[in-house]
Amino acid sequence: MNNYRYVFGPLPSRRMGLSLSVSPIPQKYCNYSCVYCQLGRTRQMKHRREAYYPVEEILAEAKDYLRGSPQLDVV
């Protein structure tokens, strides 16, 4: 099994079906603390845009995951 840094899931969603998430930010660096977030409460509140990871790495990882032909409803 691969350990992905930016891709997590798939997770069941009542609204969207089977959902794969791609996160371009470190876990729980967010400007919200949604009680329904599958990652839990926000630990590091952020209010300024920043580039955390190279976009090319994120896209490469997502493409690698999707090559496995997973059954997803939404990414």
Q: 1 pLDDT exceeds 70?
A: no
Q: 64 pLDDT exceeds 90?
A: yes
Reading the block at residue 36, the tokens are 């329904």
- Sequence-separated (6 or more) residues with CB below 8 Å from residue 58: 6, 22, 24
Residue 53 domain-assigned (yes or no): yes
What is d(CA 44, CA 28) in angstroms, rounded to the nearest whole number?
6
Reading the block at residue 57, the tokens are 């790495």
The pLDDT tens digits of the residues spanning 11-63 come to: 898 898 999 988 888 777 777 778 877 777 787 787 788 888 999 999 999 99
Residue 46 domain-assigned (yes or no): yes
Residue 30 domain-assigned (yes or no): yes
Q: 73 pLDDT exceeds 70?
A: yes
Number of domains in the chain: 1
Predicted TM-score of the model (pTM):
0.68
Residue 74 domain-assigned (yes or no): no
Residue 73 domain-assigned (yes or no): no
Torsion of the alpha carbons at 42, 32, 21 and 60, rounded to the nearest 10: -90
What is d(CA 1, CA 61) in angstroms, rounded to the nearest whole number?
14
Domain encompassing residue 52: 7-66
